[in-house]
């Protein structure tokens, strides 16, 4: 009983009538243990039939005691049987118990009366529920054959022999099917938990990607403007105050964007990203040329293109050493694209930075693709193309 009380199950988990523990993670109480014991032993009430048959034959006290002890041993072994289906490494733990149940059943059937063949039903159930999956059907067939042979040798009539043999076979496979259903249910619960875990992991990656893109861009602009303001302050230029004011505004905008991202409501737009790109490039001393038509796009497509403008601009400022940058957005009839081309060193950040990896994932989620590498005329080119899903309504 103490051992059973130490076993656990998850909230909502249940103990099935065979004693197999359903998935769970809360302590099993003593009341659960007793309910399990009752469920296991209710079916043993069928043993009353051969027991009453024995009592009606007025056996000697010695014979009655011997039969009673054998039946008690069977019930004890049946109750203390391992409650979980045994893996291959534990088959040797199950085999002695099955052997003992089988020997007791054969001894009672041959030495006392044919009606004890009923015990083969419980022996078949024990193997069906606890043996490895590929061995369980063989055990059920073996118990069925033993039931037929033992009943015939004990002198049972043909109808009784066929009835008990068929019962052993049918109930054995019924419990094996119930066991498989329980295992599949357990696997389904595990699969659902894994899907939920992966969903949480994916959301964490998305959130980390968004924060990287949001803060990376904002902090890059702040750093560039701070350096420019510092040089102007050293030179005594009154324009430094304007740059300090813009730094404060960029910091506020970045904080607002992070808050919106945390709330899950932020979706960047091309208008805001193109405006921010022009401001950031000019602050870095890079000539900005923006091209493209203002055509409504599906919000998800527009968001990916906006991320492309943001990531491309950030990388130009950080890594390119460029003097000019061209940003072109083309909402075509089949696919929409955003392209950022500079005349700098033609080197991607770390080859494939985390920002580019996140942008590639966003594009592929909408069946689009990303291209990043040296531009034909020199410099670096970032292009994202997304199939058009129709204009926003």
Residue 100 DSSP SS3: helix
Question: What stretches in the chain show pLDDT beneath 70?
Answer: 1-37, 39-40, 81-93, 200, 203, 206-207, 210, 212-217, 255-267, 293, 346-354, 389-393
The domain total for the chain is 2
Domain that holds residue 372: 288-393
**Do 66 and 179 reside in the same domain of the chain?**
yes
pLDDT of residue 355: 74
**pLDDT per residue as tens digits for the range 85-104:** 555 445 566 888 888 898 99
> Does any domain span residue 225?
no
Q: Looking at residue 341, what is its pLDDT?
A: 92
Domain boundary among 196, 228, 258: 196
- Which residues make Cβ contacts (< 8 Å) with residue 94, sequence separation at least 6? 81, 82, 86, 127, 130, 131
- Please indicate, yes or no, if residue 262 is contained in any of the structural domains: no
The answer to whether 297 and 306 have CB atoms below 8 angstroms apart is no
- β pairing state of 287-292 and 324-331: parallel
Question: Would residue 263 count as lying in a domain?
Answer: no
Residue 374: inside a domain? yes
Residue 271 lies in a domain: no
Domain final residue, candidates 151, 167, 196 = 196
156 in the same domain as 40: yes
Q: Within this chain, do residues 42 and 160 fall inside the same structural domain, yes or no?
A: yes
Q: Are 67 and 191 in a shared domain?
A: yes
Determine contact, residues 338/384, Cβ cutoff 8 Å: yes
Q: In what order do the strands lie in the sheet with 335-342?
A: 287-292, 324-331, 335-342, 380-387, 369-374
- Which two tokens mark 64? 């009655």
CATH number at residue 325: 3.30.565.10
Q: Give Cα 373 to chain centroid, integer Å.
A: 37
Chain centroid to CA 101: how far? 41
- Same domain? 165 vs 34: yes
In a domain, 248, yes or no: no
Do residues 186 and 305 share a domain? Answer: no
Asked if residue 302 is part of any domain, the answer here is yes
Domain shared by 189 and 292, yes or no: no
Burial of 39 from C-beta contacts in 10 A (0-12 / 13-18 / 19+):
middle
**The tokens of 30 are what?**
């003593």
Q: Are 7 and 28 in contact (CB under 8 A)?
A: yes
188 and 77 share one domain: yes
Residue 175 shares a structural domain with residue 75: yes
Residue 207 included in any domain: no
Residues 192, 87 within the same domain: yes
| Predicted model pTM | 0.47
Asked if 10 and 150 sit in the same domain, the reply is yes
Instruction: Pick the last residue of a domain from 158, 179, 196.
Output: 196
Predicted confidence at residue 339, as pLDDT, reads: 93
75: buried, middle or exposed (CB in 10 Å: 19+, 13-18, 0-12)? middle
């Amino acid at each position: 009983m103490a051992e059973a009380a130490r076993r656990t199950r998850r909230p909502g988990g249940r103990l099935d009538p065979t004693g197999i523990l359903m998935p769970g993670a809360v302590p099993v109480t003593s009341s659960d243990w007793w309910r399990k014991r009752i469920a296991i032993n209710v079916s043993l009430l069928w043993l009353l039939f051969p027991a009453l048959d024995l009592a009606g034959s007025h056996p000697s006290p010695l014979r009655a005691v011997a039969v009673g002890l054998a039946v008690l041993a069977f019930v004890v072994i049946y109750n203390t049987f391992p409650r979980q289906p045994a893996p291959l490494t534990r088959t040797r733990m199950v085999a002695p118990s099955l052997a003992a149940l089988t020997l007791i059943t054969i001894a009672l059937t041959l030495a006392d009366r044919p009606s004890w063949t009923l015990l083969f039903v419980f022996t078949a159930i024990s193997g069906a529920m606890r043996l490895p999956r590929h061995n369980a059907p063989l055990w059920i067939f073996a118990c069925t054959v033993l039931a037929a042979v033992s009943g015939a040798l004990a002198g049972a009539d043909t109808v009784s022999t066929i009835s008990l043999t068929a019962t052993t076979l049918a109930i054995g496979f019924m419990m094996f099917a119930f066991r498989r259903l329980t295992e599949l249910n357990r696997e389904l619960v595990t699969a659902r938990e894994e899907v939920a875990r992966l969903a949480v992991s994916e959301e964490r990656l998305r959130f980390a990607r968004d924060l990287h893109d949001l803060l990376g861009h904002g902090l890059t602009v702040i750093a560039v403007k701070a350096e420019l303001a510092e040089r102007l302050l050293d030179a005594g230029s009154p324009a430094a105050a304007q740059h300090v004011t813009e730094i404060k505004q960029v910091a506020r905008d970045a904080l607002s964007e992070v808050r919106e991202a945390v709330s899950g409501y932020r979706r960047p737009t091309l208008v805001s990203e193109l405006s921010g790109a022009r401001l950031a490039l000019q602050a870095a001393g890079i000539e900005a040329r923006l091209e493209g038509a203002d055509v409504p796009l599906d919000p998800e497509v527009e968001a990916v293109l906006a991320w492309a403008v943001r990531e491309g601009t950030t990388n130009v400022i950080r890594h390119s050493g460029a003097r000019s940058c061209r940003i072109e957005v083309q909402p075509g009839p089949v696919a929409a694209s955003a392209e950022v081309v500079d005349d700098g060193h033609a080197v991607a950040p770390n080859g494939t930075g985390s920002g580019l990896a996140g942008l590639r994932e966003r594009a592929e989620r909408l069946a689009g693709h990303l291209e990043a590498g040296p531009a034909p005329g020199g410099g670096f080119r970032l292009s994202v193309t997304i199939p058009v899903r129709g204009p926003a309504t």
